[in-house]
Structure 1
Amino acid sequence: MGLLHDLRNSSRLGILVAVAAATVGVIYGYDSSNIAGALLFMTKDFGLTTGQQQLVTTAVVVGEVLGAVFGGALANKIGRKKSMVLVAATFATFSLVSALAWSVPTLVGARFLLGLTIGISVVVVPVFVAESSAPAIRGAMLVLYQVATVIGIIAGYLVAWALAETESWRWMLGMAAIPGVLILLLLLRLPDTPRWYMMRGRREDAKRVLAQIEPNTDVDAEIADMAAALQEEEGGKGKTTKYLREMFRKPFLRATIFVIGLGFFVQITGINAIVYYSPRIFEAMGFHGNFALLGLPALVQVAGLIAVFVSMVLVDRLGRRPILLTGIGIMIAANALLVAVFTIGSDFGGALTFFGFLGLLLFTVGFTFGFGALVWVYAGESFPARLRSLGSSAMLTSDLVANVAVAAVFLTMLTRLGGAGTFVVFGVLALAAFAFVFKLAPETKGRPLEDIRHYWENGGTWPTDGPAEQIAPADRTVQSDAK
């Protein structure tokens, strides 16, 4: 009820902008899962070894790392909207190139370029959504990106399952161009964010868009806050280097450590091993047939999608920390269950197979409820405007570097350590992630974006009494009306 009330009180444009931006997650999710199905059949066509399968999977993630490195600077230079339009267009193009690949090297090259565009998207989207949403619904709108990502993952598995009888892996990869084109058409209608307009000195454009997105706010006061936060941008050239130095000095060093560490733990705990290689894990559990290898992973992701919706409803009510810690706790329990399942016996069947499936389902639910939803929230909220896109870039680069490691070695781990050893490793990493989040994660629920800097400036705690910026969003509106 609370979320529905906040949505009803939000502007139509604000919701449209956030929803349209978040749907870019569909293409990220689709690519993550359709390669799992395509690998089953391209392995036969190209005679891929285990190492080559990992290479084809990892190539896109390596491209994502490079895209994430430059995504923040690109978003500052050409704008949040133009960056996402570029992402949608190039994603559609490189999806078709992947489908037409005639050899392993051309396939790897096409997937690297595809990853490059996805890497830009995972940096730019959280920034765009955070800067286009009212504080009351900002968390939910950022979680919506994960909703779209999981929908894309489900779609990728279902398309692979539908085409499995024909073994048409080229169609599996090429159909990714369809959501790319549709999202491109949707994005073309949107304005850029008020904060980006202010960064470029376009004050009137910023006021116009802010008034449309947050009609109940004091526009002049919000614009003044943005201008004050962006004053340091008047130093001319070399801003990116200057901001990078600022990120690695107090008071924002703590924030930088937090976002880089969070990004790393999101992936190193193993979620994309489940997404990329679910058919192989189900095979190890004794499953056979197209439905078991492609339909069951889709069913697991449906459970994950439900968990994301629950997270989206609760994130602006319970707060960020409780949801993130609960999700990681579920992942720890799931790892323990999977270790037990693989330890008990190698001959799967009956109850053992059921509990193996349940372990994967819980792992996915825990991830999407916690890490999967909250990484986008913290990517968009953790830094002041001048550092936001670079901070998002740092977080997602760390995330993708860990993703490269997992994608590159998971099949080898599964072969050499077995299922029990593999999930022991992931369980230990999940425990470390829990401790890290408990120690460093701020609670940003309901805080205006421009106020979050006070948490870091105060050494990792919220000031008990501070400047006017500490006034809650609702109170600020009331006071503005009273003026």
Structure 2
Amino acid sequence: MGILKEIRHSSRLAVLVAVAAATVGIIYGYDSSNIGGALDFIAKDFHITSPAELGLLTSYVIFGEIAGALAGGWLANRFGRQRMMVLVAILFTAFSLLSGLAWSVASLAIFRVLLGLAIGISIVVVPMFVAESSPIKIRGALLVMYQVATVTGIILGYLVAWALAGLGSWRLMLGLAAVPGILITLLLLRAPDTPRWYMMRGRRDDAARVLERIDPDTDTHAELDSMEQDLREAQEKKKSGASIFRQMTTRPYRRALLFVIGLGFAVQITGINAIVYYSPQIVKAMGFPPTDTAAIFGIPVLVQVAGLIAVFVSMSVVDKFGRRPVLLTGIGIMIAAGAIMVYTFAVGAAGQTDPTDIHLSSGYAILGFIGLMLFNIGFTCGFGALVWVYAGETFPSHLRGAGSSTMLTSDLVANYIVGVAFLPMLQILGGGGTFAVLGGFAVLAFLFVLKFAPETKGRPLDDIRLFWENGGKWPKAAPSSETAARRGDA
């Protein structure tokens, strides 16, 4: 409860900008689960029978997300974080409505690609916006709020799909996503941009005004001087011919680049969006009949509710125990859950040769439900929460947009691979083989994080660069402690 007390005692503007930004995650989560609930009805209307075609239909949105993630950093630097988030909410509203009105697979694909473009921009811009608008003490928790909103959106999407399943109307399922889009647009219009973006545009007075409202206890002039120095150094490097690409691919930030690419890829290659997209199909593979809508949609909802509780736990401890322990614990839970799922399908479905027509006994079905729940708890507590923290914290301000774009593009490439491959894998390898593959990736991810992930708890945002400049270790006499003391955070 300590972190909730800290948030309550923060300035109203700090909470407003964090909540306004984080709620963009609702539309991301809503779309992820909503398409899963609508998939069977879309397939029936458009006569789609191939698992590969269904996987491709689900993944069209990812094409747009990749393009949006690649462009998101540049757009945020050019036009501002707040303006881009307002644009995201407007575009999401428009293309959700158009998706519900699609008249063919081709038109649905086009609208979902454009919808993905908006989502791709949002997942880059939101971590930047929150990281640059948060007091140091609660920065991690406010970044985790994005995952809280995302899981809330996932639950909302499943509930809407469940409520409309009796009507069989995938058009309503997709089109109703416009409602949260409208509400979020109105909320975002009240938020200012970040102090760092104002400083990037030479608007020091605006930066000071916002910073004083966000964190009244900070030394405003010292903070802005630090930003100004960082931006001046970046400008000097640019004039010397050191492009952003060159800075990120050479020392000292090459190690940071490797970290964000690897972390982004690990987040999705371990399979979480397969669980979100295809939970109804996984539940059917566990032996529940397609007509049992209470199980087909109710089980995914319960799984996500457990995940939501896990996110709140992560939010409460990430600024107390640190980023690395929380992330490694989450991945460890995912590995254990994967082992449960492998056992469930390998033993519970022994002798059943058709992986698309599995019948598990009630005991094994319950075990499978526990495995799904633990997998989701581990992800939302670890990867799901910390990816947004590291996206906002890893790079200094002049590289933050490009760094976030790189991490989340890598994330989306893995998302596409899993989205397209999961249903064919489930058909060919069965549940046991499929979760064995995902579990293997989770083990590799654990080892990667153990070696490369920095601990950024309590570090001023502009001092995190010292970790990379010192070869992936914190300097023994880092100026961050002096900076923190000056700001009243030590």
Q: Which moved more, 1:4-13 or 1:90-99?
A: 4-13
Q: Read off the aligned partner of 2:33 and give its amino acid letter.
A: S
Note if 1:331 corresponds to 2:334: yes
1:378 is matched with 390
- Residue pairs, 1:75-224, within 5 angstroms: 75-224=76-225
Unaligned runs of 5+ in 2: 350-358
Q: Read off the aligned partner of 1:14 and give its amino acid letter.
A: A
SS across alignment from 1:132 = coil
Per-residue CA shift, 1:224-252, capped at 9, x if unaligned? 01001111344698999811210111001
1:412 is matched with 424
2:352 is matched with none
1:307 is matched with 310
Paired residue for 2:486, among 466, 472, 476?
476
1:26 is matched with 26
Q: Read off the aligned partner of 1:477 and give its amino acid letter.
A: R
Cα displacement (A) at 1:477: 2.7
Q: Are the aligned partners of 1:73 and 1:240 in contact in 2 as well (CA < 8 Å)? A: no
Note if 1:460 corresponds to 2:461: no
Q: Are the aligned partners of 1:446 and 1:472 in contact in 2 as well (CA < 8 Å)? A: no
Cα displacement (A) at 1:476: 1.6
Q: Which moved more, 1:259-268 or 1:224-233?
A: 224-233
1:295 is matched with 298
Q: Are the aligned partners of 2:267 and 2:383 in contact in 1 as well (CA < 8 Å)? A: yes
1:45 is matched with 45
Cα displacement (A) at 1:277: 0.4
Taking the aligned partners of 1:113 and 1:53, their CA distance within structure 2 comes to: 19
Report the identity percentage.
63
Per-residue CA shift, 1:150-193, capped at 9, x if unaligned? 00000000000000000011000000000011100111111100
2:286 is matched with 285
SS across alignment from 1:447 = coil
Taking the aligned partners of 1:276 and 1:352, their CA distance within structure 2 comes to: 22
CA distance 1:238–1:83, change in 2 (3 Å) = farther
1:36 is matched with 36
Deviating above 4 A after TM superposition, structure 1's stretches of 4 or more consecutive aligned residues are: 235-241
Cα displacement (A) at 1:464: 0.8
Q: Read off the aligned partner of 1:222 and give its amino acid letter.
A: E
Note if 1:350 corresponds to 2:351: no
CA distance 1:238–1:275, change in 2 (3 Å) = farther
Taking the aligned partners of 2:326 and 2:48, their CA distance within structure 1 comes to: 41
CA distance 1:139–1:413, change in 2 (3 Å) = same
Taking the aligned partners of 1:235 and 1:291, their CA distance within structure 2 comes to: 61
Taking the aligned partners of 1:240 and 1:390, their CA distance within structure 2 comes to: 17
1:403 is matched with 415
Q: How many residues align?
A: 478
Q: Read off the aligned partner of 1:190 and give its amino acid letter.
A: A
Unaligned runs of 5+ in 1: none
Q: Are the aligned partners of 1:447 and 1:472 in contact in 2 as well (CA < 8 Å)? A: no
CA RMSD, Structure 1 to Structure 2 (Å)? 1.6
Per-residue CA shift, 1:86-133, capped at 9, x if unaligned? 100000000011000000100111111111110000000000000000
SS across alignment from 2:287 = coil
Cα displacement (A) at 1:211: 0.6
Q: Are the aligned partners of 2:26 and 2:151 in contact in 1 as well (CA < 8 Å)? A: yes
Taking the aligned partners of 2:179 and 2:234, their CA distance within structure 1 comes to: 39
Cα displacement (A) at 1:335: 0.5
SS across alignment from 2:257 = helix
SS across alignment from 2:165 = helix
SS across alignment from 2:474 = coil
Q: Are the aligned partners of 2:148 and 2:308 in contact in 1 as well (CA < 8 Å)? A: yes
